[in-house]
Amino acid sequence: MALDPGAAACHRFLVITGGTRPSAATRTLRLALRVLLGSVLLTAAMECVLLLGSPEAPYGLLVLLPLTAVVYAGVGTVAWARRPSNGTGPLLVAGGLVWLVAGLVNTHVPALIAAGQIVAWVPVAVILHVLLAFPSGRLEGPGARLLAAAGYVTAVVPQPVRYATTPLAPPYDPLFLADRPDVAHAASVAQSVVAALLVGTVAATLVRRLVVADRARRRALSPVYAYGAVAVLAVAVLSALTRYVGVDPIVVPLVQLGAQAGVPIAVTVAMLRGGFARTGELEELAAWLARAGRKGDLRGALARALGDPSLTLAFRVDRPEGPIGGWVDESGAPVALPADGADRVGVPVVLGEREVAVVVHDRALLPDAEPVRAAGRIVALAADRERLTAELLASREELRASRARLLSSGDSERRRLARDLHDRLQSRLVMLGIAASAASVAEEGSLAAVRRGIEDAVTELRDLVQGVMPALLLERGLVAAVEDLAERSPLPVLLTTEPGADDALPPAVESTVYHVVVEAVTNAVKHARATKILVEVVRDGDRLRVEVADDGVGGAAVGAGAGLRGVADRAGALGGTAVLDSPDDQGTRLVLEVPCGS
C-alpha cells in the first residue's frame, strides 16, 4: 500500500451546503478577482479602440487578440476562485494579461508596439506551461520544469534580436538598431526550430500522460491534454506553412488564434467533468465540520475540499475475535488499499496514535500529499466516528452472511438426508416387499404380515422424506412441490404462478420459499379457521415474490410462535424480507421477497 508516513491526526455524516458562509480570506479573494476581471475587460475595450485604423490586418482579426485575453482571464478567475491553492487559475489570468500586451503590437503607439513585439510569442509559452502543470497547477518533475522554462526563453529572447535587426516602417520600428538580415534570419530560424521541438515534446508528454492514466483520470484530463496537444501542434505547423508555403496570411492567424483560445475552454470542460473541482480553504472545511456535526457526507466533503471527485475513504476494522478485519468502506464492504507506485495513493488519518482511516486519492489530481494530510488532521475525529459506523455495518453484513451460510448448510444436509432415505433405504424396503411377494405359497401367511409391515414402513418413510425435503422439490422444482402441497391440503388452495418462475433457482431459495409456504398453509389450516388459501409465486427480475393469503380470523403475529419467527429469520438470511399482515377478522397475508440471482 502507498501510504504517506507524515500524516497526523480524521464520517460520513457531513454535507457541504450552498448556504455556508465563505471565510474572510475567500471573500477578499473573490472581490479581488472581480476587480481584476473588470480591469481586464476595461483594458481590452481600450485596446480595441487603439486598434482602430491599424493597417496591419482587418480590424475584425485584430480585435480577436483582446477577446482571447478576455476568455483566458474569465476562465482563469473562475478557476482561481473555485480552487485557490491550484496554480492553473493564476496561470490563465496571466495568460490573459499577456494576450493583452501581445495585441498592442498592432497599435500606433511606439512604446506599446515595442512591448507587444517582445511578448508576441509568450502566450504560446503560457499555454505550454498550463498544459504541463494541469491539473495540479504545479510543474511536477525536472522534465516539466525544463520544458516550461525553455518555452519562456524561446518566446522572449529572440524577439528583441529579430526586431532590432529588421527595418520596419514607422511607428512599428521602435526596437530597430541596425539592418542585419543575417542576424534576424538566424534568430528567427533558431526560434522556430526550438519552438517546434518544444511543441512536439510537450504534445508527446501529454499523449503519454493520457495513455498511462486510468479511465477516471483519462476522462477528467482528456479535454485539456488531447485538445492542448492538437492546439500547440496546429500553431507550430501553421507557422511553418506560412514561412515555406504560400498560405493566406489572414486564415493562418485566424486559425492559430482560434486554436489557442480553445485552451481555456478545454479547461472549463475539465472543470465541468469534475477533474478540477473546488478546493476551498481548509479553515472553511473546519468551520463547516463544526456546523455539520454528525450529519453529512465526509467522503463527499473531502472530495470537494481537495478537488478529487474520485477520492474514497477506507476504515481500519480490527476484530481479533471474529472473521472481520482489514479495511472497509463507509458501507462496511471490504476494500483493498492501493499498491506502492500505483496511480492512486493512500494517506493515513491518525487520531492520537491510532490509524483510523486512509484517504485514497488520485496521484495526478493531488500530487502533493500535504493538503490531504492537513484535511485529515481536521476531520480525524469525524473519521473515527465513521469508522465505528463502518465496523458496525461490517459486523451486520458478516452476521447476515453467517446466517445465510448456516441456512445453506442446513438445507444441503436436509437434501442429502432426503436423497439417502429415498434412494437407499426406501429402495431396499421396496425390494424386500418384492421378494416377499415372490415367496412360496406355504409361507404366504407369515409373509403377508411382512409385506404389510414393509408397506407401512415405506409410507412412513415417504412422509418423513416429504417433511425433510420433498422429492418433487429435489426433482422438479419449487412450483411442482407447491402444487403437490396444494393437492394434499385439506383446504382448497389456489396456486397462481407464471412460466419460468422457478427456473434456475438456487437450492437455498427453493427450500426457503417452500418451507415458508408450508408454514403459512399449515397455520391457515390449524389456526386461522379459513375456508380457502391463495398462493402466488412470481418473479420480478432478480427477486422472487411469494404471497400466501387466507380468509381466516387473522390475528397472527411474527413473535407468536417459532414457525413465523423462523420465516422472518430465513428471509433475512437470504437478504430478503417477510411481511405479515393479519388484522383481526380480516384474514392473514404473508408476502415473502428474496433475491434469486437471475
pLDDT at 535 over 80: yes
H helix or E strand, kind and range, residue 594: strand 588-595
H helix or E strand, kind and range, residue 181: helix 181-212
* Range of lowest pLDDT (151-160, 432-441, 489-498): 432-441
pLDDT at 17 over 60: no
Residue type for position 491: L
How far is Cα 441 from Cα 129, in angstroms, rounded to an integer? 110
The pLDDT assigned to 465 comes to 56
The model's pLDDT over 31-63, given as tens digits with 9 standing for 90+, comes to: 999 999 999 999 999 988 888 866 666 777 788
H helix or E strand, kind and range, residue 568: helix 562-573
The 3-state DSSP class for residue 356 equals strand
Residue type for position 406: L
> Is residue 307 within 8 Å of 138, Cβ to Cβ?
no
Question: pLDDT confidence of 1, banded at 50, 70, 90?
Answer: very low
How far is Cα 506 from Cα 598, in angstroms, rounded to an integer? 10
How far is Cα 72 from Cα 491, in angstroms, rounded to an integer? 82
Computed over every residue of the chain, the mean pLDDT equals 77
> Is residue 139 within 8 Å of 132, Cβ to Cβ?
yes
pLDDT at 282 over 70: no
The pLDDT assigned to 598 comes to 53
CATH superfamily for domain 476-595: Histidine kinase-like ATPase, C-terminal domain (3.30.565.10)
pLDDT at 182 over 50: yes
The model's pLDDT over 315-340, given as tens digits with 9 standing for 90+, comes to: 887 654 444 447 887 777 778 888 77
Q: Which CATH architecture has domain 26-272?
A: Up-down Bundle (1.20)
H helix or E strand, kind and range, residue 346: strand 344-351
* Range of lowest pLDDT (73-77, 168-172, 446-450): 446-450
How far is Cα 298 from Cα 312, in angstroms, rounded to an integer? 10
Question: pLDDT confidence of 91, banded at 50, 70, 90?
Answer: very high
The pLDDT assigned to 456 comes to 65
Largest CA distance in the chain: 143
Closest CA to 71 of 271, 264, 270, 228: 264
* Range of lowest pLDDT (4-13, 273-282, 285-294): 4-13
The pLDDT assigned to 5 comes to 33
The pLDDT assigned to 34 comes to 92
The pLDDT assigned to 125 comes to 93
pLDDT at 152 over 50: yes
> Is residue 130 within 8 Å of 91, Cβ to Cβ?
yes
Alpha-carbon 461 to chain mean position? 57
The pLDDT assigned to 533 comes to 93
pLDDT at 150 over 90: yes
pLDDT at 69 over 70: yes
The model's pLDDT over 543-563, given as tens digits with 9 standing for 90+, comes to: 899 999 999 998 887 655 556
pLDDT at 218 over 70: yes
How far is Cα 370 from Cα 372, in angstroms, rounded to an integer? 5
pLDDT at 441 over 60: no
How far is Cα 277 from Cα 303, in angstroms, rounded to an integer? 8
> Is residue 46 within 8 Å of 240, Cβ to Cβ?
no
Question: pLDDT confidence of 366, banded at 50, 70, 90?
Answer: confident
- Residue position matching grid coordinates 397462481: 496
Query: Region 522-545: what's the mean pLDDT?
Result: 90
* Range of lowest pLDDT (57-66, 294-303, 326-335, 411-420): 411-420
The pLDDT assigned to 474 comes to 73
Using CA atoms of 184, 189, 190, 196 in order, give the dihedral in degrees to the nearest 10. 150
Q: Tell whether pTM > 0.75.
A: no
Tell me the residue length of the chain: 598
- With a pLDDT cut of 70, the percent of the chain lying above it is 72
Between 413 and 111, whose confidence is greater?
111
* Range of lowest pLDDT (193-202, 398-407, 444-453): 398-407
The model's pLDDT over 467-499, given as tens digits with 9 standing for 90+, comes to: 556 667 777 888 888 898 899 899 999 999 988
Query: Region 238-250: what's the mean pLDDT?
Result: 71
How far is Cα 434 from Cα 496, in angstroms, rounded to an integer? 41
- With a pLDDT cut of 90, the percent of the chain lying above it is 16
The pLDDT assigned to 216 comes to 61
> Is residue 11 within 8 Å of 330, Cβ to Cβ?
no
pLDDT at 431 over 70: no
Query: Region 166-176: what's the mean pLDDT?
Result: 79
H helix or E strand, kind and range, residue 371: helix 370-378
Between 368 and 146, whose confidence is greater?
146
